[in-house]
Amino acid sequence: MVSIPLHTLLYIIVILLFALLIFFSSLIRIKQQRLKTSQKQVIWIKEHEEYLFSLLSTGEWRIRANLSKQFIYEAIEQFFLNFLKTVNDSQSQRHIQQWVETHFAERYRKQLNNRSMAIRLNTLYRIERFHCTSFQAPLYHRYLLNQMTTEEKILTLQILSKFQDERVIELLNKEGVEYPDFYYSDILTRLSTNIVTNQVIDCFQDLTPPLQYAAIEYIGAQGWNEYEPLLLKLIDHNNQEMNIRAMKALYQLHYVSDMTSLLPHFETDHWPKKMWLAKLSMLHHQEACIPYLKKWLADSSWYVRRAAANALLSYPTGEFELRQIAQFSEDAYARDAAKERLERGIGF
C-alpha cells in the first residue's frame, strides 16, 4: 500500500478547497449577473410597455432603442413569447412576425450557425413561435446538408410542416430516415388536411413504414370513415404491426360496415390482435364473434379478457352469456372476468 506524506495530503486538500472556493464564487457571480440583467429587463419592459402594446395593435415601432444590446433584445423577445402564450390574436401575431422578421432575422441567422446546440435549438424554437416564414427555404436547405443533430432535424421538420411546406413529406419519406413515432404524427397534424390527403394518404403504398403508421393513426384520429376499405385491407397485411395499427384506427372510427372480412383473424394467437378484434366486434354485432369472445374470457392476457368481457356484454344476449360463465365456467380467469364486468355494468 502506497503511503502519502501528511504534508502532501494537506497540500492537496488546500488546493481542492481553493478550487471549490473559486468554483462557487464564479457561480455566485454568474447568478448575480443574471439577476441584475433580469432586473434591467423588467425595468426596461415596464418603461416601454405602452409602446410594445401599441406595436401589437398597430404594427408601428415607436421605441428608440439599441437592439444590439443583449438585455434589450432578450427583453423584447421574452415579452413577445409571454404574449403569445396567453393571447390568441391573429393581428398581434402578424405584427410580431413582421417586426421579428425585420429586426431579429439577421441575429437568428447567425445564431443558427452557433457552436452551441442549445442556442441553435432555442433559435429554431423562436423561428417557429414567431412564425418567421422567411426562414422556410434556408431551413429546408440546411436540412438537406445533413449537418444537424437529430433534435435540430426534428424541430426543423416541425417548423416546415407548420409553414405548410409539402416538401416535409419528401424529407420524412426518405429511406434510412427514422424518428420516434410521435414526431411523424405530430408533423402530420401540423399540415393541412389537403396536403395530408394528397401527399400521404393517396400515396400510401409509396411511403416508408414509419410514415405509413402515422398515416393510419391520422385516419383514425380524423374519423375518416371513407378510408375503412384501406384499413380493412391493411389488417390483411403480412406486417403484424400494420395489422394492429389498422385495427386501432378502425376502432377509432366507431364504425365497421361488416365484420365478415375480419372473422378469419379471430383465429390468431397474438394477444394485441385479440384485444382489438374484441373491441371491433362491439361496433358491428355478429353472432360468429360470440364463441371467440367467450373463449377469450379465459385468455392468459388480462387485456384480452377485459376487452372480450366488454364486447360480450354489448351483445343482446351478452349479459346472459356472462352470467352463465360467471356461475358455471371451470376456468377461474373466465369466471372472474365475467363477474367483474357484470359488476361494472354496460359500457363501451
Structure confidence by residue, pLDDT tens digits, 135-148: 999 999 999 998 89
**In angstroms, rounded to a whole number, what is the distance separating the alpha carbons of residues 272 and 243?**
10
Average pLDDT over residues 14-28: 75
Q: For residue 8, what pLDDT is reported?
A: 75
Q: For residue 346, what pLDDT is reported?
A: 56
**In angstroms, rounded to a whole number, what is the distance separating the alpha carbons of residues 263 and 277?**
9
pLDDT reading at 345 higher than 90: no
pLDDT reading at 200 higher than 90: yes
Q: Is pLDDT larger for residue 61 or for residue 164?
A: 164
Topology of the domain comprising 258-348: Leucine-rich Repeat Variant (1.25.10)
pLDDT reading at 254 higher than 50: yes
Q: Where in the chain is the domain with CATH 1.25.10.10?
A: 258-348
Average pLDDT over residues 277-287: 95
Q: For residue 261, what pLDDT is reported?
A: 93
Angle between helices 117-129 and 150-162 (to 10 degrees): 10
Residue 284 CA neighbour count, 13 Å, CB half: 16
Average pLDDT over residues 290-313: 97
Instruction: Concatenate the DSSP letters of all residues of 154-222 into one string.
Output: HHHHHHHHHTT-THHHHHHTSTT----HHHHHHHHHHS-HHHHHHHTGGGGGGS-HHHHHHHHHHHHHH
For CA atoms 280, 286, 292, 293, the dihedral sign is: positive
Q: For residue 2, what pLDDT is reported?
A: 54
Name the DSSP letter for residue 227: G
Query: What nine digits make up the cell of 117?
Result: 446546440
pLDDT reading at 69 higher than 50: yes
Tell me the whole-structure pTM to 2 decimals.
Answer: 0.82
pLDDT reading at 348 higher than 50: no
Average pLDDT over residues 141-158: 95
Least-confidence region, from 30-44, 120-134, 174-188, 297-311: 30-44
**In angstroms, rounded to a whole number, what is the distance separating the alpha carbons of residues 148 and 6?**
52
Query: What nine digits make up the cell of 184?
Result: 411523424
Average pLDDT over residues 99-112: 94
Query: For the chain, what percentages of helix, strand and coil (3-state, to nearest 5) are there?
Result: 75, 0, 25
Most confident by average pLDDT, 30-44, 69-83, 182-196: 182-196
pLDDT reading at 326 higher than 90: yes
